[in-house]
């Protein structure tokens, strides 16, 4: 375990592009996603959602709805436990379980349009839909707190009467009720003194819109609450164990009563780390003693799940003429939605993590507004922060008449440098990535009229945390690998490659599966870019235990000491040379006579995840008469540690870049003055379609991360961090004006060009 292979050895299977194990099921339609699971006697659950964005619930009358033929149960918050406010750990973050419960089902107040106020179980969808219309909710409407300004105005309407501003160290001094839930300062040196040393100072204010993760598969669950108290929950989730914690917390039951079975998942991007339907389905299933299936519509998904925070970030940078950054100050305001907990903390921590700096003051504010509660979205908070920070660095480079990459190289962190948020970096590839972009042929390619080029840097911490893996070798020598990590980005292929390399068995003889909360040990969520790193570590450890066992069995067969047996290329080797090699299948075929089944298990807590740095380059062409932006070329360069399955790694880089391009150009929640979303569908909430982007070119830099035996560092989140700054800098250069707002949709860009 403690033998880092930092000299980049030639692996036999790791680093190959093996066939993806989920591919056939997905292209033939056989894969079972959340809504595909059914049980005999199943009934259908549906949700009644708030028709106003802010108000008190005076009363809910279900009498008429209960009378509808086919309706078996109707529940409101009164049917759910009135739980205490307490924080529960959620892997890399934590959540106030009372807020989770209120988000799942409104109690007393509704805080956003679309928040559930009642749920129904009926024998048909049609009966349920008819009954939903007969539930009478009497609201006392309150003023809608629609954005950061409304939330922070003097005499602002409060969403939560008791809420005060907290910090890492407890409440602020003299706290008063407020919509500002959290204040996060990050200070270093003396920022005022720093600006005095500056030859050049730039500042600007940047805005981003509320955006959605845009996973294709809507939330869906099937719950079977059995009469013996055990409850099975099938659901589309990034974290079955996390969901177990959340459902148990909301319903005030023990986690062991629940068996959470993750289905195949059609995208998550952080958005499937929150429970919405599951606790309701559990209560409904208990009420009617039938399995209950609940599926969100796309409209429900957009109105009431996700999204990612809108933000406003003011930032000021001071530098010397030679490009040395001397002082940075910023104020980051993030919309949390209806409940506290926007990702403003990681936004503050990541914003300038790529640079060395003596004087810095970054202040983050977590602000509640009458919109759905913000959920994690791929590198939560970092894209918004990087948009402001990197776009202003681009402006600084212009002002200094300096190449933007040279400006970054001048200040970039390297091994041994301390991140602004604390720890010192190990080996990292930021400078290599910057050099790779600078030496790419596109960097000097000529641009025509109305074309522009932009680049930006991105950073994400990545995490490790807890994982479990089980490696079982069948009698025929084929291998089953089970982990508790849901596969959103190709982890089954990577887990198979780790086991293949360790056992010396080709990956096609290894089947990697995702277990559930009763069939495999605890696993933290698939998130934080942790799975290939941490769960991969568990698979390596479990495989190594299996190899020791295989050597033992061979030693027993040969009547040798185990030290005289080595394991090479999938076979036991007698180091004394007296016996011919014994293949894995020969050992496992006789396992019943030599001590029983062969395998290995590992439960680990992986510390010291390797941070991820990436650099992206974008060329655009702007139509000055329509404001349309065409992405001409797009390059993603990233330090990926070690690419276990390069195709999946490239896919992560491309996917993150495309999501960031979407946020840059068209993706945007459009709320009316009443706090009602006007674009709850993929027609008007415009994620990029395939023809909107060129082939995203990727370039992998592999600086191994020493604490991992294969040098793995997380790769999935970093690529969504730079695009907004890269794309808008390119547009800015094309039109000769700085873009400070995203999405830079065609109407907005034409207004900017025309100076309306």
Binding site for other proteins (CB under 8 A): 124, 126-127, 625-628, 665-666, 670, 678-679, 683-684, 686, 688-689, 691-692, 745-747, 750-751, 754, 756
β-strand pairing of 170-171 with 325-337? unpaired
> CB 505 → other proteins: shortest distance, Å?
41
Q: Residue 54 CB, nearest distance to other proteins (Å)? A: 22
d(CA 722, CA 572): 48
Which C-beta is closer to other proteins: that of 10 or that of 28? 28
Q: How far apart are CA 661 and CA 667, in angstroms?
A: 9
Least distance in angstroms from the C-beta of 684 to other proteins: 5
Residue 581 DSSP SS3? coil
Least Cβ distance, residue 630 to other proteins (angstroms) = 9
Residue 63 CB, nearest approach to other proteins (Å): 22
Closer residue to other proteins (CB): 133 or 252 = 133
The answer to whether residues 742 and 680 touch, using CB atoms and an 8 Å cutoff, is no
Cα Dmax for the chain? 88
Nearer Cβ to other proteins (444/756): 756
Cβ closest to other proteins, residue 323 vs residue 627: 627
**Residue among 219 and 431 whose Cβ is closer to other proteins:** 219
Q: Would you state the structure tokens that stand for residue 751, as one six-digit string?
A: 């207004």
Question: What is the rounded CA–CA span in Å between residue 139 and residue 22?
Answer: 47
User: Considering beta carbons, is residue 548 or 689 the nearer one to other proteins?
Assistant: 689
Secondary structure of 186-229 in HEC code, one letter for each residue: EEECCHHHHHHCCCEEEEEEEEECCECCCCCCCCEEEEEECCCC
Cβ proximity to other proteins: between 6 and 130 the closer is 130
Determine how β-strand 109-110 pairs with β-strand 116-122. unpaired
Q: Could you give the CA distance from residue 165 to residue 39 in angstroms, rounded to a whole number?
A: 47
The tokens describing 270, both together, are 């952080």
Least distance CB 347 / other proteins (angstroms): 27
For the chain, how far is it from start to end, CA to CA, in angstroms? 62
Q: What angle do CA 89, 94, 100 make, to 5 degrees?
A: 100
Cα three-residue angle 301-305-307, rounded to 5 degrees: 110
- Residue 533 in 3-state DSSP? helix
- Among residues 161 and 756, whose Cβ is nearest to other proteins? 756
And the tokens for 680? 């709850």
Considering only CA atoms, give the Rg of the chain: 27
Work out how close the CB of 687 gets to other proteins at its nearest, in angstroms, rounded to a whole number.
9
Q: How far is the CB of 208 from other proteins (least distance, A)?
A: 17
Closest separation in Å from C-beta 649 to other proteins: 27
Q: Rank residues 68 and 181 by Cβ distance to other proteins and give the closer one.
A: 68
Distance CA 631, CA 666 (A): 13
Cα separation, 171 vs 617, whole angstroms = 42
- The CB-based long-range contact list for 646-651 (8 Å cut-off, 24+ gap) reads 646/15, 646/17, 646/700, 647/17, 647/20, 648/20, 648/489, 648/490, 648/493, 648/494, 649/698, 649/700, 649/715, 650/698, 650/700, 651/489, 651/490
Q: How far is the CB of 747 from other proteins (least distance, A)?
A: 4
What does residue 454 show for φ and ψ, rounded to 5 degrees? -140, 150
578 or 691: CB nearest other proteins: 691
- Do 33 and 265 contact (CB within 8 A), yes or no? yes
Return the structure tokens found at 673: 């003055």
Phi, psi of 404 (to 5 degrees): -65, -30
Q: Which is nearer to other proteins, 4 or 624 (CB)?
A: 624
User: Tokens 């292979």 — which residue?
Assistant: 5
Identity of the residue, 196 or 684, whose beta carbon is nearer to other proteins in the bound complex = 684
Q: With respect to other proteins, which residue has the nearer C-beta, 402 or 676?
A: 676
Q: Write the CB contacts of 94 (distance below 8 Å, at least 6 apart in sequence).
A: 87, 88
Give me the least distance between CB of 692 and other proteins, in Å please.
Answer: 5
Contact call for residues 208 and 745 (beta carbons, < 8 A): no
Shortest CB 126 distance to other proteins, Å: 4
For residue 53, the minimal CB distance to other proteins (Å) is: 17
Dihedral of CA 301/303/305/311: which sign? positive
Cβ-based nearer residue to other proteins, 149 or 754: 754
CB 665 to other proteins: min, Å:
7
**Listed residue (388, 330, 387) closest to 357, CA to CA:** 330
């Amino acid at each position: 375990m403690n033998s880092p292979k930092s000299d980049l050895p030639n692996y036999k299977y790791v680093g190959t592009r093996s066939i993806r194990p989920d591919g056939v099921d997905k292209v033939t339609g056989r894969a079972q996603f959340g809504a595909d699971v059914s049980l005999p006697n199943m009934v259908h659950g549906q949700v009644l959602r708030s028709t106003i964005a802010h108000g008190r619930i005076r009363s809910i009358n279900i009498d008429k709805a209960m009378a509808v033929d086919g309706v078996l149960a109707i529940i409101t918050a009164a049917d759910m436990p009135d739980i205490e406010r307490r924080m529960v750990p959620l892997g890399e973050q934590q959540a106030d379980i009372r807020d989770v419960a209120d988000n799942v089902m409104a109690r007393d107040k509704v805080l956003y349009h679309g928040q559930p106020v009642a749920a129904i179980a009926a024998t048909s969808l049609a009966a349920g839909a008819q009954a939903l219309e007969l539930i009478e909710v009497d609201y006392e409407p309150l003023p809608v707190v629609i954005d950061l300004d409304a939330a922070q105005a003097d005499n602002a309407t409060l969403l939560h009467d008791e809420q005060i501003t907290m910090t890492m160290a407890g409440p602020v001094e003299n706290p008063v009720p407020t919509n500002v839930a959290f204040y996060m300062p990050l200070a270093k040196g003396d920022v005022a003194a720093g600006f005095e040393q500056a030859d050049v100072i730039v500042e600007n204010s940047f805005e981003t819109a509320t955006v959605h993760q845009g996973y294709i598969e809507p939330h869906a669950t099937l719950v079977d609450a059995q009469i013996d108290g055990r409850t099975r929950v099938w659901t589309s989730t990034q974290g079955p164990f996390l969901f177990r914690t959340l459902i148990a917390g909301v319903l005030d039951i023990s986690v062991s009563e629940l068996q959470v079975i993750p289905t195949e998942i059609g995208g998550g991007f952080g958005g499937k780390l929150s429970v919405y339907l599951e606790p309701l389905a559990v209560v409904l299933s208990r009420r009617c003693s039938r399995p209950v299936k609940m599926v969100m519509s796309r409209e429900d998904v957009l109105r009431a799940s996700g999204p990612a925070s809108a933000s406003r970030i003011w930032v000021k940078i001071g530098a010397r003429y030679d490009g040395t950054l001397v002082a940075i100050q910023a104020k980051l305001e993030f919309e949390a939605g209806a409940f506290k907990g926007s990702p403003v903390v990681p936004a503050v921590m990541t914003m300038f993590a790529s640079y060395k700096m003596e004087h810095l003051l970054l202040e983050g504010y977590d602000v509640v507004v009458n919109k759905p509660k913000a959920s994690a979205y791929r590198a939560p908070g970092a894209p918004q922060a990087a948009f402001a920070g990197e776009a202003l660095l681009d402006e600084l480079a212009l002002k200094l008449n300096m190449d933007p990459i040279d400006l970054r190289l001048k200040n970039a962190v390297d091994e041994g440098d301390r991140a602004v948020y604390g720890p010192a970096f190990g080996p990292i590839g930021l400078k290599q990535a910057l050099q790779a972009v600078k030496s790419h042929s596109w960097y000097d390619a000529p641009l025509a009229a109305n074309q522009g080029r932009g680049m930006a840097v991105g950073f994400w911490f990545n995490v490790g945390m807890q994982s479990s893996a089980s490696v079982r070798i069948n009698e025929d020598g084929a291998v089953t690998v089970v982990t508790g990590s849901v596969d959103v980005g190709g982890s089954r292929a990577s887990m198979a490659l780790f086991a293949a390399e360790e056992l010396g068995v080709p990956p096609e003889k290894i089947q990697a599966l995702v277990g559930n909360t009763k069939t495999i040990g605890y696993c933290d969520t698939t998130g934080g870019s942790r799975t290939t790193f941490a769960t991969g570590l568990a698979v390596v450890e479990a495989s190594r235990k299996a190899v020791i066992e295989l050597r033992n069995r061979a030693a027993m067969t040969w009547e040798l000491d185990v030290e005289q047996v080595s394991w090479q290329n999938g076979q036991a080797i007698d180091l004394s040379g007296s016996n011919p090699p014994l293949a894995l299948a020969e050992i496992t075929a006789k396992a019943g006579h030599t001590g029983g089944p062969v395998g290995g298990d590992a439960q680990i807590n992986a510390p010291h995840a390797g941070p991820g740095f990436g650099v992206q380059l974008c060329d655009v062409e702007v139509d000055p008469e329509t404001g349309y932006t065409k992405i001409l070329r797009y390059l993603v360069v990233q330090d990926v540690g070690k690419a276990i399955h390069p195709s999946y790694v490239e896919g992560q880089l491309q996917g993150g870049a495309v999501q960031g391009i979407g946020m840059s150009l068209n993706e945007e929640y459009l709320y009316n003055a009443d706090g009602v979303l006007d674009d709850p569908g993929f027609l008007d909430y415009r994620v990029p379609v395939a023809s909107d982007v060129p082939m995203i070119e990727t370039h992998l830099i592999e600086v191994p991360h020493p604490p991992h035996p294969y040098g793995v560092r997380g790769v999935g989140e970093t690529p969504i961090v730079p695009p907004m700054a890269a794309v808008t800098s390119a547009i800015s250069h094309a039109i000769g004006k700085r873009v400070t707002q995203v999405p830079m949709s065609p109407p907005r860009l034409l207004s900017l060009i025309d100076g309306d």
